[in-house]
Structure 1
Amino acid sequence: MSIQVRDQVFSLTTNGSLYQMKVDQYGILNHTWYGPNTEMDMSYIEDYPEISFSANLWDTEKSRMYSLNDCLLEYPCGGISDFREPTLLLRVPDGSSSLDLRYYSYEILDGKYTIEKLPASFDRDQKTQSLKITFKDTVYDIFVYWLYGIFEEENVITRSVTIRNMTPLEIQVKKAVSASLDLPESDYEVIHFHGRHAMERLTERTSLSHGTFSIGSRRGQSSHQHNPGIILAKKNTNETSGEAYGMLLVYSGGFEADIEKDQLDQIRATIGLRSENFRWQLKPGEHLCAP
């Protein structure tokens, strides 16, 4: 089985990796591991020191030992104490843009999930499994579904997100990235591919510094100017050996990919639709699928 769930620990395995998440005591989904398959619960490595002046969730009773701003998160939203790059930003009629998503349910699906009206990877033989994890906002009836498709032999995990508005109100989606990856260390270099007409996909490799590294396209298409993909690679990684994480958007429209190095030298990498001029109105009962 490529997907196993035990004690609210989600383990996704391919032939060469283990991708693991765990729901914590507040219903937040933490990202605990992405690397070699250890066949064990890896959440023990999350041992955060007390970080003064870090904001708290409303129900943590002012704990100085817990803050979303310090945790490795699976799909972090803005406005609720995590001040790093957000993945999802909404606005409701009262003007609020905070989204407090907590774990609601999960479902394991046979076959690869599909994305409505968007291109997506597929498996003709239906040998893959998919995972659907549902989260709900603590104030509004806004549901977000995180989708994972496991291609075991190819060592690939696909990601997508669906936002569903079950409120009686019309809400506005301002940002919705397709995938986010938090890593506990930052000694990586970024490989990306820029270019121009008749000279596409030129390789550039650069070190990470504190702050945010960003690439993207404002053209309404990914274009020859930037390939919609990034690679995080250890400094000694080459084309035949070493550790590397790749993120590639299966979508040819305007996009953005951001990599942020935070105050604890952790990394957050996100990739998805370009949010600069993105506004999507969701009427009651409607949903939006990310590529």
Structure 2
Amino acid sequence: MASARIFFDDDTGVFHLQNDLISYVFQVETGAILSHLYFGKKVTAYHDQRRYPRLDRGFSPNLPGKPGEVDRGYSKDTLRQEFSGFDTGDFRQPAVIVRAENGAEATDFRYVSHEIIAGKPDLDGLPHAYVLAPDEAKTLVVHLVDETLAAELE
């Protein structure tokens, strides 16, 4: 059985999930947005070479900011997001569409925190994998929040 490992680098905001065969790497980017970096053959360490390139994104919406301080080289529309929102600067297919009581559908989930849990929690009412003992797996739970909708996501 492959041994699962989950690493988080506090300095760079990079998550590295790996077993004996594969690696999955993503990062907390500018604006607390999760950015996909790598999925494939196991790598021993992330080398920081797959970061989002900062190029002028003049025709893509940028994150809001003060005049003259907006990073025109950074856009949710071109960022390889781990979890994309709806109607807030990313025009690709969203990961989820949530409709609020007032009919609003725009979602902008941002990273708040994470936890690494031994084992595999049950998902009530849903099909899911299981483990016989907690040391057989690790689970990464990432907490995201949309402040406008007051919605939380794990």
**TM-score when normalising by structure 2:** 0.85
Question: Which amino acid in structure 1 is aligned with residue 89 of structure 2?
Answer: S
Superposition CA RMSD, Å:
1.8
In the alignment, the residues of structure 2 paired with residue 5 and residue 74 of structure 1 have an alpha-carbon distance, to the nearest angstrom, of 16
Amino acid at match of 1:93: E
Write the distance in 1 (CA, Å) between the matches of 2:54 and 2:126: 39
Which of 133, 139, 147 aligns to 1:138? It is 147
Query: Cα distance 1:93–1:43, how it changes in 2: closer, same or farther (>3 A)?
Result: farther
Alignment partner of 1:5 out of 4, 8, 20? 8
TM-score by length of 1: 0.47
The residue identity in structure 1 corresponding to 2:6 is I
1:1-291 mapped onto 2 (5 Å cutoff): 2-7=5-10, 8-45=13-50, 46-59=52-65, 61-126=69-134, 127-145=136-154
Change (3 A) 1:50 1:26: same
1:57, 1:139 → 2: CA distance? Answer: 15
Q: What runs of 5+ residues in structure 1 fail to find an aligned partner?
A: 146-291
Pairwise CA distance, 1:43: 4.1
Q: Could you list the per-position Cα deviations for residues 154-195 of structure 1 after superposition, in whole angstroms to 9, with x for gaps in the alignment? A: xxxxxxxxxxxxxxxxxxxxxxxxxxxxxxxxxxxxxxxxxx
Unmatched tracts of structure 2, length 5 or more? none
Q: Distance in 2 between matches of 1:76 and 1:43?
A: 22
SS of the equivalent of 1:91 reads coil
Distance, in Å, in 2 between the alignment partners of 1:43 and 1:30 is: 13
